[in-house]
Chains A and B, each alone.
Chain A
């Protein structure tokens, strides 16, 4: 099949406005520089665990970040593009600190920075969105609210906080009425944008406002907002990530900004040399980023209808599988010669499928069954099904009812396969249920239920067939043994408003990585002692979705997956070296 390739753009470092307050410095030397230094507070004491972010000159990663150690010392990873005569931006993120000043000493190619930070009680500039949800006493309604709203964007975002201030500025005595009317308007506006985003399709135009303003969840969201966000939100204090840092002096975060209008959903490292392949859910394209230079180009998924590449899976042979957001086109890309196979998927009665995931195995690659069939979850039809990539044959199996819960709109979502390749496990996001299906007997098997507002999303399975389930709404992690059908445990996330979106079993480190959508961090769970540690990202608005692990280096690959056009946070693909040497 043919493939088209177009060079789309630009140096990576095109989005300076997204960085936190920064200091500009110029490196004078005659050779490529190395950056080390320390972060100190206004009294000269070390600031520990601060993220120090440098914007190198193009070409290269858009930003590189290292963490300060217990002495406040940091060492930025070497990049070939620290070129002499270049200007660099330096920024920091440390909870409860703000950047004040920096000084620089330069000798040969060595640049030593002293970054001065000031402690602040008001953490508004450094804390994640979830910091504002910490004092909400009613966890149950907060969980429902997170599930209703954080599915598409962080809450409270800067825009929302500014709106709360605008409400507070409206004159009038009846504050309850003003607040309720204002949040009613805000929810209608959000419902409109949501209808537009999820209604994207071949002939879609703007939705009819009168039909989409009012949706079922609206009143409870308005009530929650009116009751819990009663004043301006200019400050927040006392927040921490809730877990010790999972970083070392060698931990390095490389961020690659993707020029608009691309909307990066997920990303993987594939090919030789390794390239970042990122799903652009706003188009039909897969964006390819060269990690060394930061150059981006894009490949179209061949299709005469909108696709919106969403879920990416690494094939066992190093190829790329693409599942769609909009229509039912599944793509398979040979990343070396850049040729595609695609399948247009329909149910037997002609209904389009809504494929969400293909089945992940313990290596976080696509695991087919023993007959080579590719199993998928169908978010539209409450079904699982298979594709035979050799013949193009597909079939569907509708999931059975669960207790007294809904049978439509269940959002059958995440999908994994057991190591014997005979059983798949799936989550149903909107009815808090986990189920299984035997791909040999073609019968549904054991299931277990969680609260309706728990929000189970993308699943992972260990090489011992232990299932991990992130609960987006209630902010918990479930550990379940698929061999004995017993729940090993359910654990509160360190920040229960963090909206854990996915889990990824790490087959070498024997841990679970948990990216969050509302807290700008990836938590690490150790099944041996059930402990959590945290790997924070260097910027706010980091709406994280999937994490993949490069099997060769153990580097994590993830993305800031803010929805294009509607959410104004960063859109980047990331390579993260946890700095633990685990894969050496």
Chain B
């Protein structure tokens, strides 16, 4: 059914006369002429929705704030029923009837949950990632939502940090591409459509570089690092028209990012020309007080508004203090006007002034959840996000006729953790397909043995004996283990990167009991895990992250070869936590280790660990094999205005078809500042049939070679560059060209 509504208020009448014009600026202007200062401030205020057992309710405070014109947006308020009730108050019971904006953390799916973002990034499939956010927007918008607090585009090089799970890994180029894909998927081509929603690039900026990997901790870096590594993904979202930004919790070089003029005004607005609005993170304006940057709430509100945070998420400080600050002259009214203008503009773009109930449609809500095509896509993405880390003796894929497989581990039948953290409205109570359930599509029950063995975290070994028993009976053993979903994500940092609890001991025990049997480890986790022991204990390792609602089915498709795995790591897996931070695009240093003697004294190495990680960025195996020909360059000279082509022939030399992620890396050999030893500058995901060969071409222009120098200029420097087309970041350059 459709809700009917009355256009009763002055503003809506006034506005609707313009409704076919796209000149939102003028509309905002005319609307703002009608608004009091208090009403303008109201637009900058966001609160969370109230819920009771039956669903969202208006709530005493929220109802009051809406009616008073003291609230412009809400988070965690959705469902058609809930948003209708709230919107009705805003539209019908306020002086100007300005509609509310409803936002929510739709991070990797809304109802249909896709793999965690780190997992999805391992697909390197921009189209697929865009489809995932398109589906998320479909489902979210069908429940009244206008806005998602995604994508998170924070570069993270520290696996201790729990929110590494929410990002797209460590590489600036790849993260930037993925950031754009998410934004396009959420926002679509036309924001006024009922199935597109505002995206929000977060957390601006540097949040992923938390000291010691501890969430919310201090961030410090030089400006070159900020500009070359951490800012570009945000810039990429601006380039594709992201409508909103979220300021971060962390400080950057002594100044909290929710009160940072340099990042919010100088860079975001002045350099990049961002026209959308900036929302704080959850009470991040207030948190400038414990940061020791704001004296009190009044001061925090002043700093937040003056530095360009347009909307206060949950902090109440704008609602309480902005008027007073304006009266005291500490905040200029034009600053508040500007914030209000930016927020209203977004509401216009969403079409809320044409129809505040545009996203509120009961029929659509019912029909959109868990559509079969969404679930099919989720299954496909789960498979495409899996990374085959190791596959000794081609243990995988399994044959359907395998006599018996022992499935052991706390996550075999899991339908709860499998969704990962920040799983929005994903159902953790049975909707999800467990690995066991997924595999049962391929095996008959007599082929499947199961023992849980142990829990994820506690140290109860009583289940070991049963696990050993069934392991001995089976032909092959599959361990499904990992972290609980709450062990990554926000405020979920770890100092120990091993598989948690007594699971490693169970692996050892199973191996001891079955010295000659093949063991496959299927891993669910939200960060790079230290697998230094496991690589020697098991034969194959399939990293499936938290694969989402259809996770078990997607994983089963990989285990049985319906889907040939093609995922590649987007983040480095260290040998141990003492190597952290470790990432592929490091600097060379003045004393790099020699190839022929990596342990040489007085070189940059450790006395107790190799420099190399366990699994490199870009690593991932397939059930087939790919051969790369030598790279060919169209010219050994690139002119500033010209381009050159790099190509290589990739052949599928194995015995089944498969996808391969072909990676292009470049190294600027000499610079006015030190440059990374290699940098990803392109990739292509191609499909090759068994025996097939394809030529993969990349075009390189001077633009691809630019970086920020010591003076903060985005520049390209002539000289020699090394180039390679390879299957992972683990290679030596053999080819060069010269930029003239």
Q: Do A and B come from one complex?
A: no
Chain A residues engaging chain B, CB cutoff 8 angstroms: none
